[in-house]
Structure 1
Amino acid sequence: MRDFHQPGRSEVYAANGICATSHPLAANAAVDVLRRGGNAMDAAIAGAVLLGICEPQMTGIGGDCFVLFSPAGSDDILALNGSGRAPAAADAAALRARGLKTVPLTGPEAVTVPGAIDAFCTLSEDHGKLGLDAILAPAIHYAETGVPVAPRVAFDWDENQATLQGHGRTHYLINGAVPKLGQLFAAPGQAEVLRRLAKDGRKAFYEGEVAEDMVACLRELGGVHTVEDFANTRCDYTDPVSGDYKGVDLVEHPPNGQGATANLMLNILKHYDIASMDPFGTERAHIEAEAAKLAYDARNRFIADPAMTTMLEHMLAPETAAKLAALIDPKKAMANPHSLSESVHKDTIYITVVDKDRMAVSLIYSIFHGFGSGIASEKFGVLMQNRGAGFTLEEGHPNEMRGGHRPLHTIIPGMLRQNGKVIMPFGVMGGAYQPNGHARFLSNMVDFGMGPQEAIDAPRCFSDDGVMKVEKGYSDQVRQELSDLGHKVEVPHGPIGGAQAIRIEDDVLIGASDPRKDGCAIGY
């Protein structure tokens, strides 16, 4: 139990249902869907789509999603890949011929076809109760009437507004300026798209006027996208990957997501007595950073479009982790072992919902970088993701940009299972940090006995591209000791990531939400 003399937040206890996410309006809308007879899938989709209005710098209908879910009355965990593909005419060789070494972050080359809407329509049809018209109603309402800009959203908007270009500035600035804290932001063009979706389903987005509006804005900028690329978009059900950490199974979405990186990282950490270390001390931070470097190196080498990911079994093999763990020097930081050109980011939303029948949904949804590519369609203001920047242009690499392929994705939903029972859907936002965040969140609970909220609140550190980012929650002594070990230590400008979780117990649900974001857990 937390010290009530200190600032903080309590976990949320409820019996019938809980939503935990990064904005209170979305959490409230999801719980309202549950109260009206919807299930966890209905509620998660309703909240996620609304988050595209509440946090437009993070996500939106021009983005992608991944979903893990456990149906009511079952401990099975199913996965759905709602990530989009490069247009059929995309070609790494053509970009190399232009002298490019990486995919331009704010060009049409980085825009993959949005996959999230197809996924939401599929999941609503296959696993929801209420139908699209009911679950899109909250987002339509707020897109029309506006949402007050929340504190973390205002911070991010100002940080990322330079990305916006052309029609993006028209739709996502107010009179040419970044919205102020508390100012109403509305998206009437998106409201119209959502009304059409509610009436006509996925074809309203991937065919006809809305698709033509998106394709036109991309082709005007030199993109190779076609209306056929949009019409042919399809999500896929797939099989999760998992690994045990001290009696708890971490279940992750398979490639092209990077979830297996978290499993590998935990397999490496199992070779160290993490539980004997100070949870916020130098030794744990150092060993974790070195394990992350090695796990992310494997990610960069192996994870790509599912058709190109051929080394997953090797990546998750115990002997692979043993060999990598032996490379760690407890007294010295290693240089980054391997680096590739695919871009990483920090901007995502995550939502989790569990309902009264104990259906559990873990859903992550993103446009990649802050405001994605910065490119928005002219009429409807659909902001296009720049997920194609996750491809490499390295010739022959599994993750090389190819027409019709999916890039390496950083966004990963998670679930925990123990003794065969699903015990917790959770997610840790933060781009490249996410596998490290999943590993640390689970280790906080398993190795140090923290509850979900305490495990989320705990200070974070992350070795990212040669820089050891250490949050203010660590002591100056730890920062100095990490520097002495050879890490290049910095206090990041903003916090590292954000997390949400719901623990499932026999008679009660326990929700936790990261104070690094604006959101909360709400139950009933």
Structure 2
Amino acid sequence: MRILAAATSLLALVAAPIAAQEAQPVEEQIGAGGRPVGANWSRSPVYAENGMAATAHPLATQIALQVLREGGNAVDAAIAANAALGLMEPTGNGIGGDLFAIVYDPKTDQLYGLNGSGASPRGQTLDDLLEKLGGADALPPVGPLPVTIPGTVDAWFAMHKRFGKMPMNEVLAPTVDYARKGHPVAPVIAMYLDRSLRSYTQRLETTAFEFDNARATYFADGAPEAGDIFKNPDLANTLETIGREGRDAFYEGELAKVMVDYLQRQGSAFTLADFAAHKSEWVDVGCAEYRDGFELCELPPNSQGFAALQMVNILRNVDLRQWERGSPEVIHYITEAKRLAYADVARFYADPNFSALPQELLTKEYGAQRFALINPNKAAPEYDAGEIAVAPKLEGEGDTTYLTVTDKDGMMVSLIQSNYRGMGGGLVPDGLGFMLQDRGELFSLDPEHPNAYEPGKRPFHTIIPAFVKKDGKPFMTLGLMGGGMQPQGHVQVLINMVDFGMNIQEAGDAARINHDGGRQPTEGMTGPSADPLGTLNVEPGIRAETVEALRAMGHNVRVVSNGIMFGGYQAIMRDPETGIYAGGTEMRKDGQASGY
């Protein structure tokens, strides 16, 4: 494949005029073509009647549809697609990470939330951890210390026990087959694999951690390129064992023993008892009404989902439709609402088993109080003082996968899964074919903070699936992966559709903003913020005059053209009258929405 690509490139170079060889990249030479309907910068949504899947990889989407056609339901198909993405998009997810999901069950007409996140070692205190850190002011992104229990496999079985139809070995079989025979690497994923290898190589220059297993699994011949065939026979064996022996194989059986032995050799405090004690938690889904009967629904902490609900409760106090979608006014209000919500995220969001979230944060009254703090003409220098900025950034760009599947009976699954920063902490247990997550990096080391590290505690989580209701009825699954981009991304898509009439594909393709910086949930409880204003990152689709107007309002604006930090979107909408599904997928990823 690489020889063919090189030959094609050489032929193009020889045939091209000299002037063209020296010209700007093609996307800067020519703009978008015209369309008979809809925005020129978007594509048509996908429509289907019997079932639909939208994922970050076309082959994972096809696997989900295959499961649906063979008699599985949306939960079976979502698990199958997630397993496939762990193989095909290891830069964003895998069974070494955590999972959150929202399931709409048409039989009960209810939303069910699942928190499949894992905890820290039960036998290691904060003092023990600080001693291992040797004076560092934050957990590292690599090695054994940021590892938390991988929750994905247990979450699969919790979902399957409650809703699944097809045997789990059949659900996992398509991915086992691809892992043995191989699949062609997709272009965006190839780019992330190259970035990951360079990042790990750079970290190895300053931090000692075991990387030989990861190198052999993913980078034996360097980073795979687009179109290269990638195989992972170790992962095939692991998934076969899980399909045959169930979740206990991963948390109590031979797979657990391999993981614990490996981690303990790296200096981890995890024991077999820690793995055996892990279990997913069914949680109540929270919803906040925006306008015109639309409600955004999210999962509670330790995820950051309720930050999106706080933004909705703030923005419902202003009619954004009085301005154009790309106006400085609309972008200003979205940005200030995000900053206000994140001041609370940094202060209150943590594992609810250790620190309860104040319920008034989600009231309309509190949203109105927060909205009153926004100056319509000027960015506030800071919201809510009293933190010190010693913590690492939130989740890196693109390090998550979101997928959604719906079926002929009306079941709708919104699922997100991640290893956290990069591909994870660089550690691949011997012969198992997957990398362990580094989610523990998001703990605070301030003992007074609700998100402080404690034994057997789940860290603050960035990954969030979403759901939208219309007039109390199921309307849309929604996800927009990517660290702190996620709550603000969910709200931007909602605004695009509700206030500005975009269809489900246009709502994802439209230029986005990503406010970064300000307070972090890993920070301490006292002291000033090092970056109180933060940076308002915008895509090139935001007009130059809008960028200058935002700067005049006091925002620190940066135009970013590569799309990486603006997340990965997938969504499926169900027509409440006809039951027809419409799907949208992310142009910034390799994915596909398809149905039958």
1:458 corresponds to: 510
Q: Residue deviations 1:244-268, cap 9 Å, x none?
A: 0002111111111111100001111
Deviations 1:188-217 (A, max 9, x none): 111100000111001121123322222233
Tell me the SS of whatever aligns to 2:333. helix
Check 1:198–1:41 CA distance in 2 against 1; reply closer, same or farther (3 A cut): same
2:374 alignment partner in structure 1? 328
Q: CA deviation at 1:486?
A: 2.0
Deviations 1:41-77 (A, max 9, x none): 0000000110011100100010100010011334310
Which structure: larger Rg? Answer: 2
Q: Deviations over 1:324-361 (max 9, x none)?
A: 21221222223453666364113110111110000111
Q: 1:174 to 1:7 in 2, by over 3 A?
A: farther
- Three-state SS of the structure 1 residue aligned to 2:491 is helix
Counterpart-to-counterpart distance in 2, 1:235 and 1:405:
13
Q: 3-state SS of the aligned residue for 1:308?
A: coil
After superposition, the Cα gap between the structure-2 partners of 1:392 and 1:494, relative to the gap in structure 1 and judged at 3 Å, is same
Quick check: 1:391–1:399 contact (8 Å CA) kept in 2? yes
Of the candidates 504, 512, 517, which is equivalent to residue 589 of structure 2? 517
In 2, Cα distance between the equivalents of 1:365 and 1:280?
A: 31
Asked whether 1:145 is paired with 2:181, we answer yes
Alpha-carbon distance change, 240 to 4 in structure 1, aligned in 2, over 3 angstroms: closer
Structure 1 residues 434-453: aligned runs within 5 Å:
434-453=486-505
Structure 1 position 503 matched with structure 2 position 573:
yes
Q: Residue 404 and residue 332 in structure 1: after superposition, are their counterparts in 2 closer, same or farther (change >3 A)? A: same
Structure 1 pair 39–252 and aligned structure 2 pair: CA distance change class (3 A)? same
Residue of structure 1 equivalent to 2:437: 385
Q: Distance in 2 between matches of 1:28 and 1:388?
A: 33
The alpha-carbon deviation at position 372 of structure 1 amounts to 1.0
Cα RMSD (Å) of the superposition? 1.7
State the partner residue of 2:144: 108
> How far off its partner does 1:227 sit?
1.5
Alpha carbons 1:125, 1:131 under 8 Å: kept = no
Task: Name which of 336, 361, 372 aligns with 2:424.
Answer: 372
Mapped to 2, the partners of 1:488 and 1:420 lie a distance apart of 39
* Structure 1 residue matching 2:484: 3-state secondary structure: helix
Which runs of structure 1 show a deviation greater than 6 angstroms over 4 or more consecutive aligned residues? none
Q: Does the residue aligned with 2:505 lie in a helix, a strand or coil? A: helix
- Given the alignment, which residue of 262, 269, 272 partners 1:227? 272
Aligned residue type for 1:162? R
The residue number in structure 2 matching 1:70 is 104
How far is the alpha carbon of 1:7 from its aligned partner? 5.1
* Residue of 319, 323, 335 corresponding to 1:273: 319
1:478 aligned to 2:523?
A: no
Does the CA-based 8 Å contact 2:569-2:585 persist in structure 1? yes
| Cα gap change, 1:336 to 1:96, in 2 (>3 Å) | farther
Report deviation, 1:484. Answer: 2.1
* In 2, Cα distance between equivalents of 1:136 and 1:336: 49
1:162 aligns with 2:198: yes
Shift of 1:460: 0.3
Residue 295 of structure 1 and its aligned partner are, at CA, apart by 0.3
CA distance in 1, matches of 2:188, 2:334: 28
Residue aligned with 1:30, SS: helix
With 497-506 and 471-480 compared, the bigger mean Cα shift is at 471-480
User: Does the 8 Å contact 2:238/2:433 carry over to 1?
Assistant: no
The question of 1:344 aligning with 2:394 is answered yes
Q: Is the 8 A contact 1:2 1:10 kept in 2?
A: no
1:41-440 matches, within 5 Å, as 41-97=75-131, 98-164=134-200, 165-175=211-221, 177-246=222-291, 247-337=293-383, 341=391, 343-345=393-395, 346=397, 347-440=399-492
User: CA 1:451–1:513 in structure 2 vs 1: closer, same or farther (change >3 Å)?
Assistant: same
Higher relative contact order (CA 8 A, sep 6+): 1
Could you tell me which amino acid in structure 2 is paired with residue 518 of structure 1?
A: D
Q: Which moved more, 1:152-161 or 1:431-440?
A: 152-161
Q: Residue 342 of structure 1 contacts residue 392 of structure 1 at CA under 8 Å; is this kept in 2? A: no
Amino acid at match of 1:152: V
Could you say if the C-alpha distance between residues 101 and 39 of structure 1 is closer, same or farther in structure 2, counting changes exceeding 3 Å? same
Give per-residue Cα distances to partners, 1:150-187, cap 9 Å, x unaligned. Answer: 11101211222234433212211132x11111111111
Give how far 1:108 is off: 1.2
Looking at structure 2, the residues matched to 21 and 258 of structure 1 have their Cα atoms a distance apart, in angstroms, of 22
1:111 partner amino acid = V
Using a 3 Å threshold, how does the CA distance of structure 1 residues 314 and 201 change in structure 2: closer, same or farther? Answer: same
Aligned partners of 2:83 and 2:172 also within 8 Å: yes
Shift of 1:87: 1.3
Aligned residues: 523
Q: CA deviation at 1:375?
A: 1.3
Please give the alpha-carbon distance, in whole angstroms, between the structure 2 residues aligned to 1:167 and 1:330. Answer: 53
Q: Distance in 1 between matches of 2:543 and 2:188?
A: 24
Q: Which moved more, 1:328-337 or 1:471-480?
A: 328-337
**Contact 1:163-1:374 within 8 A present in 2 as well:** no
Cα distance in structure 2, aligned partners of 1:24 and 1:375: 28
Structure 2 residue matching 1:190: 3-state secondary structure: helix
SS of aligned partner of 1:136: helix
Relative to structure 1, the CA distance from residue 381 to residue 436 in structure 2 (aligned partners, 3 Å threshold; closer, same or farther) is same
1:74-109 Cα deviation digits (max 9, x unpaired): 431011111111111233233334312111111311
TM-score where L is the length of structure 2: 0.85
SS at match of 1:499: strand
- SS in structure 2 at match of 1:511: strand
For structure 1, which runs of at least 5 residues remain unmatched after alignment? none
The two structures have a TM-score, normalised by structure 1, of 0.96
Q: Does the Cα contact within 8 Å between 2:43 and 2:506 map onto a contact in 1?
A: no
Deviation at 1:120, TM superposition (A): 0.2
Mark the runs of 5 or more structure 2 residues left unpaired by the alignment: 1-34, 201-210, 518-533
One-letter amino acid matched to 2:586 = D
Give the letter aligned to residue 214 of structure 1.
M
